Amino acid sequence: MGGAGHLRRPLGTLPAAPRRRAPPPRGPGGDLRPRPAHLRAARRHLRGRAVTTCYVDRKDAELRADGAALAVYEGGRRTGVIPMGPLTHLVILGNARLDTRLLHRLAERGVTVSLIGGRRHQLLATCAPTLHGDGRRRLAQYRAASHPGRTCERAAHVVAAKLDGEIALLEELRPRARRGEVVVTALERIRTARANVEEEGGGLDRLRGLEGAAAAAFFTAYQECFAPSLGFQERNRRPPRDPVNALLSLTYTLIHAEHVREVGLTGLDPMVGFLHELDYGRESLVCDLVEPARPAAERFVWQLFHDRTFTDRDFASGAERPGCYLKKAARSRYYPLYEAWAEGQRRTWREEVRALLRWLEEGGDAP
């Protein structure tokens, strides 16, 4: 990841929407009606652009190859066509059917297919193009991951980048917090952790402890920036228990899938990271790369609620499906918003992976 370059970049924002007078409170909880301005802005932003990432979130949808296009069928009727020429990533959420002929076409064109579980929005599998042919890249990664000094160097870079992003975000949101003093206290704790990142000694355990303490402080302050009616009091997942955590989890999952694709195209091993220790089934390198991207994602989620693009009425929870999740109609609004936001982030994400690759190949200081 590009260290100083990453830290100087502003956190991502949605396409600008026209300012409007806030609608009056509605309902006993004082909830406000959704404001669709950012959705319209996102759709205008994407209109006429080539579709590079396609999201399929339709129950029992069937995907077929149709010449040079991907056709979507529901109930035997064709409901959509996406040209495969510019497509680079197909994200399938929930139940969908596709035949091997389509998989062959997608593989020939270098399109990554990500399968995300419909209930908990977890990345279940990735069908990616063949790994980069230069095995020396993976050997360089394994050597660095086996060297305690280089592992700590890289882990410190990841933690520093993430903490700098958290500090920048909380400074931006502090005027909007319900209790500004809580944000000030959190900022002091995160800044203290950030100052200690560069100290020597303690190894990975110390760095992980600093990152964990800073994350706890961050979410204590972050929750102060949302309406109490959303019930957001802490970070929770698997399953998320409130609307903010639900949107955070979905956004994190999509970002994770994007980084799995980038790492695969670069030819690195997604399972071998630096800050995140080896664990069966965990893509530790991808987790490392996602950490500095989280503050921008958290700003994106905050803005969606702040602008009332989503309210608690867009979410469902119940005994049949534990946790809190976006309703179907709300998900159809979320994907274009995410895509418009992610489009502005992908160059940074790609450069982060390339900077890591250069560091590995040069065997020098962390980028």
Instruction: Read off the pLDDT of residues 248-291 as tens digits, 9 standing for 90 and up.
Output: 999 999 999 999 999 988 999 999 999 998 888 899 999 999 99
DSSP state, residue 156: H
C-alpha to C-alpha distance for 130 and 40, rounded to whole angstroms: 38
Q: Residues 326, 238, 164, 292: is their CA dihedral positive or negative?
A: negative
43 C-beta neighbours (distance < 10 Å), count? 16
Residue 67 has pLDDT above 90, yes or no: no
Structure tokens at 67: 């010449």
Residue 84 has pLDDT above 50, yes or no: yes
For 260, counting Cβ atoms within 10 Å of its Cβ (0-12 exposed, 13-18 middle, 19+ buried), the class is buried
Residue labelled with tokens 């069937």:
62
Spell 284-309 as b/e; 16+ CB within 10 A means b: bbbbbbbbbbbbbbbbbbbbbbebbb
Spell 234-244 as b/e; 16+ CB within 10 A means b: ebbbebbbbbb
pLDDT digits (tens, 9 = 90+) for 134-167: 788 999 999 999 999 999 999 999 999 999 999 9
C-alpha to C-alpha distance for 314 and 255, rounded to whole angstroms: 22
- CB 326 within 8 Å of CB 313: no
Among 77, 118, 84, CA closest to 103: 84
Q: What is the pTM of this model?
A: 0.81
Q: Strand ranges (DSSP E) for the chain?
A: 53-56, 61-66, 69-74, 77-83, 89-93, 96-98, 112-116, 123-127, 315-317, 324-326
Among 261, 254, 263, CA closest to 338: 254
pLDDT-derived band at 29 (thresholds 50, 70, 90) equals very low
C-alpha to C-alpha distance for 12 and 344, rounded to whole angstroms: 7
C-alpha to C-alpha distance for 222 and 183, rounded to whole angstroms: 8
Q: What is the per-residue pLDDT for 12?
A: 52
In the CATH hierarchy, which fold is given to the domain comprising 3-14+31-50+131-362? Four Helix Bundle (Hemerythrin (Met), subunit A) (1.20.120)
What average pLDDT is seen over the chain?
A: 83
